[in-house]
Structure 1
Amino acid sequence: MSAICVYCASGPVADRHLSLATELGTAIGAAGHSLVSGGGNVSMMGAIAVATRKAGGQTVGIIPKALVHREVADVDADELVVTDTMRERKQQMDDRADAFITLPGGIGTLEELFETWTAGYLGMHDKPVVLLDPDGHYEPLLQWLDTLAETGFVSRSALDRLLVTRTVPDALAGCGIYL
């Protein structure tokens, strides 16, 4: 069994993003794997946790105490860890995960993605880092990163460390999970 850490939005999002989170959570749980998340029970973060549990998977939510009420902590998680800081939250998420999948999100989601991606590129871990972007949410960012590579600010090998996928089965396959 693998533990898949999913980074995603905890704020208001479109129904298609909630559906994506539900689809991924269902696939993780049905495949017998566990979810590591940011520990909120709202928006995409809540949808993926509920779907994972409904499909038979275990969930670990890791949330800093400052966000317990703001994000409404996922008290239904199989394990809910409350940390003192965001930094501790991310460290525990990283330590518990066998792979990382990033869904559409905002600044917090991007920060988590970039830290995990950078650590992998620098050889601090060898875990898969996957970006699941079915509707082009991240396309402007990916174009900008490609421009940075063209100008030498980012190496192609760094860009290659991130697997960009469009479907849930492809994202899970990037983590070594085949449906």
Structure 2
Amino acid sequence: MKRVCVFCGSNPGNSPAYAEAAQNLGRTLAERNITVVYGGSSVGLMGRVADAALEAGGEVIGVIPEKLRAKEIFHSGLSELHVVDSMHERKALMAELSNAFIALPGGIGTFEEFFEVLTWNQIGYHEKPCGLLNINGYYAKLASFLDDVVGQGFLVQEHRDMVLTGATPEELLERFLTYEAPEVEKWIELKKRL
């Protein structure tokens, strides 16, 4: 695992634990010689991850749309900064550059980015691990909701199990090392016919 994409908030959140977790993740990845790929911003948890990785001697690759770069929220001290035309191009390039995906706490953008790469995994576009860094139980209700989605018949358990969780970067990275993408039909009706 050479590069990990980090999705996270462009705001710091209300708890200092979130900023501490972002810094810890950036530092941990750098110490393991894993490059951080992220959205290229200098603010919020995004900036904390990048700064910590850089301070620890790591490499950080940012991918930011021109519209956001023009607002001067881009990080000017990155190892590489790719400026793209759209959010679609941003996500596609981040996914292409990465071997795995981690979501720290964040808002709608973080959820959307995480679920897009998870969907790509589900339908076989890639086999890269996708994990939630569950700081202070931030993703506990989401995990419970996904369990309910399985119970309601809209998700198979094998695909629910693709959402790896950990309370620390070390725990999540260890789970990534043993991850194997499931070979199971996404469409439940077709699965029942087989």
TM over 0.5: yes
1:69 Cα deviation from its structure 2 partner: 4.2
Map of 1:35 onto structure 2 = 36
Distance 2:172 2:72 in 1: 26
Map of 2:9 onto structure 1 = 9
Name structure 1 gaps, 5 residues minimum.
Answer: none
TM-score by length of 1: 0.94
Distance 1:36 1:128 in 2: 15
SS of the counterpart of 1:80?
strand
Aligned length: 177
SS of the counterpart of 1:4?
strand
Residue pairs, 1:8-87, within 5 angstroms: 8-13=8-13, 14-70=15-71, 72-87=73-88
1:147 Cα deviation from its structure 2 partner: 1.0
Name structure 2 gaps, 5 residues minimum.
Answer: 179-194
TM-score by length of 2: 0.87
Q: Deviations over 1:96-126 (max 9, x none)?
A: 0011111111100000110011111111101
Task: Tell me whether 1:140 sits opposite 2:141 in the alignment.
Answer: yes
Kept in 2, the 8 Å contact 1:10–1:71? The answer is: no
Kept in 1, the 8 Å contact 2:17–2:136? The answer is: no
Kept in 2, the 8 Å contact 1:42–1:71? The answer is: no
Q: Deviations over 1:123-150 (max 9, x none)?
A: 1101111111031111122211111110
Map of 2:110 onto structure 1 = 109
Flag as ranges the 4+ runs of structure 1 deviating above 2 A: 174-177
User: What is the CA RMSD across the aligned residues, in angstroms?
Assistant: 1.4
- For the pair shown, which has the larger CA radius of gyration, 1 or 2? 2
1:171 Cα deviation from its structure 2 partner: 1.3
Greater shift, 133-142 or 54-63, is seen at 133-142
Between the aligned residues of both structures, percent identity stands at 37
C-alpha distance 69-174 of structure 1, shift in aligned 2 (>3 A): farther
Greater shift, 69-78 or 25-34, is seen at 69-78
Distance 2:34 2:56 in 1: 10
